[in-house]
Structure 1
Amino acid sequence: MQAFWDQGYCATSMTRLVSATKLNPGSIYAAFNSKEGLFLAALDHYGKLSTEKIRRALGESDSPLAGIRDYFKSLAGTASDSEAERSCFLVNTILELARHNKNVQLRVNAHFEAIEACFRTALETAQSTGELPAGKDPAALAAFLMSSIWGVRVLGGTGPAPGRTDAVINQVLKLLD
């Protein structure tokens, strides 16, 4: 996964993949059928990790909205920590491949839908307990929150800008009030 994350799909050679995986080319092809197959497996792995991280953050808090707030506040800390944390494999993939590769587009959309569903469930729970005002639309807010994650990740990719990232996150969280 790291080789594709660091260099993108097109720039990652089979030589680099052999070095990164410690497998010979025949083993890579036997396991994944192609470079694209390995890439899709890496993308799925990353998407599942991302979704699980959000699900865990939402489940560890005292309330659904507190979980969402805690998750977004954690983004402020990771948005510019290191090269690995400053970029997002899903966002990088969208920018490089999603418009040109239907398999990639479908996979990225599935991961986005899973993340959005985590937020929608939390927001619906918050609304049913009175924590989120009745006039708020959980589905629309969930889509906005999901989109906001990627915006923060893109901002982080432009270099350290904690003040700007914090300001964006604070505006996102105001919509939950």
Structure 2
Amino acid sequence: MAGRPKIFDEQEAVAKATEVFRDKGYDTASADELLCAMGIGKGSFYLAFKGGKRELYIRSITQFSEHLYKKLSASISGSEDKIQFIRQFFLNLADASDCDKERGCYLGNALVQLSEKDHEIKKITVQLLKKLQALFAEAIKSAQADGQITNTEDPELIGWYLSNLWNGIHVTRRMEGSPEILKSIIEMNLKILN
């Protein structure tokens, strides 16, 4: 006997739960808030997410991470000026009025808040940082070969520098909300792309 069929789209339900986690945080998001946002009952929830709230959160982080990486990768690949795109990507981080889902601070928050408590969450966030590093390094290597930037540092190292900047800005914006200050910090760091 196969049991009752699922009557909801798991990816859509996870995306709705992500909004609750993004707004409330993992610890303060209640089961009732999650179920209400997802539009499912307890029975369906535990059938789909046998590990409960933790499994849902891990699925949320994974799905969000994959979406963010695919979108950023496609945008960089499709850009005529990859270095200018990367510059603008970082500068846009300063202008976000809140934890904008397109800029990835949900993952930055997960890395800061829970990665030391939960090995699986740390693994997911570390994988994203490594993928970002590789994406940035590839763009840098191409720009160096084309003479678009004069910096001759190892593109792999610059890629790590930029992924660290992405992560660091998400941490800094938790303490400093001034777009002007954030933009100045980002511009100073982006001199590495000259």
Q: After TM superposition, is the score higher than 0.5?
A: yes
Listed as ranges, the gaps of 5+ residues in structure 1 are none
- Corresponding residue for 1:113? 130
User: Does the 8 Å contact 2:61/2:107 carry over to 1?
Assistant: yes
Alignment CA distance shift 1:87-1:7 (3 Å) = farther
In the alignment, does 2:39 pair up with 1:11? no
Q: In 2, are the aligned partners of 1:87 and 1:156 still within 8 Å (CA)? A: no
Match of 1:53 among 39, 60, 71: 71
Is 1:99 the equivalent of 2:127? no
Q: Does 1:64 align with 2:87?
A: no
Aligned equivalent of 1:75? 93
- Superposition CA RMSD, Å: 2.1
Query: 8 Å contact 1:76–1:162 — kept in the other structure?
Result: yes
Equivalence for 2:141: 124
Q: Which amino acid aligns with 1:51?
A: Y
Which residue matches 2:62? 44
When normalised by structure 1's length, the TM-score is: 0.87
SS in 2 for 1:175: helix
Q: CA deviation at 1:150?
A: 2.2
The alignment's TM-score, normalised by the length of structure 2, stands at 0.80
Q: Distance in 2 between matches of 1:165 and 1:76?
A: 5
1:54, 1:144 → 2: CA distance? 17
Whether contact under 8 Å (1:58, 1:67) holds in the other structure is: yes
- In structure 2, runs of 5+ residues without a counterpart are 1-17
- Higher relative contact order, structure no. (Cα contacts within 8 Å, ≥ 6 residues apart): 1
More deviation, 83-92/140-149: 83-92
My pick for the range that moved more, 59-68 or 10-19, is: 59-68
Structure number with bigger Rg: 2
* Alpha-carbon shift at residue 145 of structure 1 (Å): 0.7
Q: 1:123 to 1:41 in 2, by over 3 A?
A: same
What CA deviation, in whole Å up to 9, does each residue of 1:102-161 have, x standing for no partner?
111111111111111211111111122222336211111111111111222233333530
Q: Match for 1:82: what amino acid? A: D
Give the conservation status (yes or no) of the 8 Å contact 2:35–2:42: yes
